[in-house]
Amino acid sequence: MHLVDIILVVTYFAAVVLVASRFSGSQKSLKDFLMGGGEIPWWAAAMAGIATVTSAISYIGAVGLGFSTNFSFLQYRLAVPIAVAIICIVVMPFFFRLRLYSIYEYLEKRFNALLRLLASGLFIAFKCAFLAVGIYAPALVLSVLTGVDPLLIVLVTGVVTTLYTLMGGLKAVIWTDVPQLLIMLGGIFVVIFFAASKVDGGFVQVFDVAQQHGKFDYFNFSTDPTDTYTIWGGIIGGTFLIISQFGTDQSEMQRFLSVNSLRKANYAVITALLVASVIGFLIFFEGAVLFAFYDQENNVDIPTNEVFIHFVIHELPIGLKGLIVSALFAASMSTISSVLNSMTTVFMADFYRRFKKADGSVKVARVVTLVFGLAATALASMGGLLGNLLEASTSIINFFGGALVGVFLLGMLSKRAESFGAAFGFLAGFVAVLVTALATEISFMWYSAIGGVMTLIVGELVSRISGRRPDDSQRKLVFSRKRKTEAQNLPG
């Protein structure tokens, strides 16, 4: 990289650390560190939610899929209206009314402590795996750009992000996420417009080439469950996938719960999902634009994870290259910091408080953040074993998320569900996905739905067979129109 590009990247890192350090002295309590004091503006919470899911994985993996395939991966976005309705009407009111640090505390209140610990442990496990991919992704770019060993770049990315996260807590995470999201968007538009300007005929030719090669193909009505991307897998599997990402995932929900009213929390959820969907289409379109560019160059055989990197290295001028690398780091670090903060919150609320018999302190929370950050960084060194980054991350989410969605919905929707049935259903859902993945060719887009539906069915049946009934306090944690109205009328 040219000196100008290096200066831009270093300036970005310095700015992020500076913003985080501004909040380091304001973390007086765990509520400040973990929940931002409950005073985050809804639009900032929404932008942080978008930045969390729009990771470097999307920057590389989604561009690669848009380049090598078509828009069919995005069929799961058709499930957004269904997922929004379930999250805002059923899920969010419970979490907001109970004012939980960890959303998995709901499972103890509704069922028992064992189920809460199982869900929390599963969350921490799959987020460690997800972070490994998220840290590895930008290391691909800088390794090719500079010739530096990817492992060294992984270490720098993981350690720096861990340090600024433990310095400023949730406030630092959110208020670095906001500018990081803007940098990411700037990077997307820079690549789209610069690449299109290099195509003879501009955007007209881009659309012509993309249509000729089926890049804009979206709907696939196949009923074959082994077909990777179909409209049925998109709507059914996508509903569970989106709820697992935005409704029963601590790293997302923690941002939405940091505002001061249920109405604003719902604004944040709706905005985050809609804008994230638009960004998803933009990034796939970016891949289609790059295909048109390289089709003109008779060079469309670039590996899926390398096309974005190849364009940045060989085509972007001085200055823009540094901007794109900064955008890539912004995408990666916003996700890493958000997930680290949420893992710390879950550990402190669900494990430390229980086994230490104490609430803990900001100092302890910072130590926990450091440990998780170093663990995820170590796992990231295995990133080279993965295939397409976006498909790898989606598989991880689908593999772990469905059973979590199922057990939350079982508790919120079933008046008969009790602790033994819920635990049995939860394990059945996880095992069902494991067997599906190991013994069949069914697309990973169905994993969340399989895990969620199995958890709901088995949990309900076992609860009915057991003959046990939830007590009065547990029945109050089941959805009803009356409780929905009460939650909507909360102050704020």
On whether the CB atoms of residues 237 and 320 are closer than 8 A, the answer is: no
pLDDT for position 171: 83
d(C-alpha 132, C-alpha 332), whole Å? 11
Average pLDDT of span 300-306:
82
Lookup: tokens for 68: 């090598």
Q: Is residue 389 part of a domain?
A: yes
- Maximum average pLDDT range among 137-141, 254-258, 302-306: 254-258
Domain extent at residue 321: 3-393
pLDDT for position 178: 83
pLDDT at 492 over 60: no
pLDDT at 483 over 80: no
Number of domains in the chain: 1
Q: Is residue 449 part of a domain?
A: no
pLDDT for position 382: 67
pLDDT for position 199: 93
Q: What is the 3-state secondary structure (H, E, C) of 207-273?
A: HHHHHHCCCCCCCCCCCCCCCCCCHHHHHHHHHHHHHHHHCCCHHHHHHHCCCCCHHHHHHHHHHHH
pLDDT at 23 over 80: no
Residues 6+ apart with CB under 8 A from 411: 106, 107, 110, 111, 417, 422, 477, 478
Longest Cα–Cα distance in the chain: 72
pTM: 0.86
Total residues found in the chain within this entry? 492
- Maximum average pLDDT range among 10-14, 33-37, 230-234, 344-348: 230-234
Lookup: tokens for 99: 């004012």
Lookup: tokens for 415: 């008046």
For residue range 96-107, what is the model confidence (pLDDT) as tens digits?
A: 888 888 899 999
d(C-alpha 53, C-alpha 205), whole Å? 31
Burial 379-400 (b: 16+ CB within 10 A, else e): bbbebeebebbbbbbbbbbbbb
d(C-alpha 198, C-alpha 466), whole Å? 67
Q: Is residue 380 part of a domain?
A: yes
Q: What's at 317, amino acid-wise?
A: P
Q: Is residue 334 part of a domain?
A: yes
pLDDT > 70 fraction of the chain, expressed in percent and rounded? 90
Q: Is residue 461 part of a domain?
A: no
Cα dihedral 143/149/153/158 (nearest 10): 130
d(C-alpha 65, C-alpha 63), whole Å? 6
For residue range 26-64, what is the model confidence (pLDDT) as tens digits?
A: 666 777 777 776 778 999 999 988 887 777 667 777 888
Q: Is residue 471 part of a domain?
A: no
Give the residue carrying structure tokens 């994230």.
276
Q: Which of 177-181, 275-279, 328-332 has the lowest mean pLDDT?
A: 328-332
Burial 421-436 (b: 16+ CB within 10 A, else e): bbbbbbbbbbebbeeb
pLDDT for position 482: 63
Residues 6+ apart with CB under 8 A from 62: 73, 280, 283, 284, 286, 287, 390
Q: Is residue 349 part of a domain?
A: yes
Q: What is the CATH number of the domain that holds 300?
A: 1.20.1730.10
d(C-alpha 103, C-alpha 106), whole Å? 6
pLDDT for position 187: 87
On whether the CB atoms of residues 251 and 339 are closer than 8 A, the answer is: yes
pLDDT > 90 fraction of the chain, expressed in percent and rounded? 39
Which comes out higher in pLDDT, residue 332 or 85?
85
Average pLDDT of span 5-33:
77
- CA 17 and chain centroid, separation: 23
Q: Is residue 398 part of a domain?
A: no
d(C-alpha 430, C-alpha 415), whole Å? 23
